[in-house]
Structure 1
Amino acid sequence: MHTIIAGRYELQSGADAAVTALQRAGFQREALAAFYINPNGQHAIYPIGGDDESSPGARHSGIGAVKAGAIGAVVGAAAGAATIPLIGPVGIVIGAGIGAYTGSLIGAVSSTDRESAVDEQTGQPAATQPKVTERAPGVLVAVRVDDHSRQRAIDTFLATGAEDIEHAQGELSDGHWQDFDPRAVVQRV
Structure 2
Amino acid sequence: MSLIVAGRFTTFAAAQSAARQLFAQGFLEEDVSLFFVNPRGQHAHAAADSLHSVTPGAGQVGLAQRWSTAGAVAGAALGVAICAPLTASFIAAVTAAGIGAYAGALLGGRLHAYLGMSPTLRERVRHAVHHEMRDSGVLVAVHVSPDNQAKAAHALDEAGALAIERATGHWQQGRWADFDPTVPPVPLSEFAQRHA
How high is the TM-score relative to the length of structure 2? 0.52
Alignment partners' CA distance in 1, 2:185 and 2:165: 7
- Flag the 1:132–1:3 CA change in 2: closer, same or farther, 3 A: farther
Corresponding residue for 1:36? Answer: 36
Partner of 2:107: none
Q: Is the 8 A contact 1:9 1:139 kept in 2?
A: yes
Cα gap change, 1:173/1:25 in structure 2, threshold over 3 Å: closer, same or farther? Answer: farther
CA–CA separation in structure 2 for the residues paired with 1:158 and 1:151: 10
Determine the structure 1 residue equivalent to 2:46: 45
Asked whether the 8 Å contact 1:9–1:15 carries over to 2, the reply is: yes
**In 2, Cα distance between the equivalents of 1:166 and 1:46?**
25
Structure 1 residues 182 and 23 mapped into 2: Cα distance closer, same or farther (>3 Å)? same
| Higher Rg | 1
Q: Secondary structure of 1:16's match?
A: helix
Unaligned runs of 5+ in 1: 50-130
Contact 1:33 1:172 in 2 (8 A): no
Equivalents in 1 of 2:12, 2:6: separation in Å?
15
Residue 176 of structure 1 deviates from its aligned partner by: 1.5
In structure 2, how many angstroms separate the alpha carbons of the residues matched to 1:18 and 1:175? Answer: 16
Sort the Cα spacing of 1:36 and 1:161 in 2 relative to 1 into closer, same or farther, 3 A: same
CA RMSD of aligned residues (A): 1.9
Distance in structure 2 (CA, Å) of the matches to 1:133 and 1:168: 17
Distance 2:184 2:48 in 1: 23
Deviation of 1:139 (Å): 0.2
Poorly superposed stretches of 4+, deviation over 3 Å: none
Match status 1:19 vs 2:19: yes
| Structure (1 or 2) with the greater helix fraction | 2
Q: What amino acid does structure 1 have at the position aligned with 2:7?
A: G
Residues 133, 186 of structure 1: 8 Å contact kept? no
Report what 1:10 is aligned to.
Answer: 10
**1:132/1:21 CA distance change after superposition, 3 Å:** farther
CA distance in 2, matches of 1:147, 1:177: 17
Query: What secondary structure does 1:36 align onto?
Result: strand
Q: Structure 1 pair 173/27, CA: closer, same or farther in 2 (3 Å)?
A: farther
Aligned to 1:138: 137
Match of 2:148 in 1: 149
State the TM-score, normalizing by the size of structure 1: 0.54
Q: d(CA) in 2 for partners of 1:132 and 1:165?
A: 20
Quickly say closer, same or farther: Cα 1:149–1:138, change in 2 above 3 A: same
Note the 1:103-118 alignment, pairs <5 A: none
Amino acid at match of 1:157: L
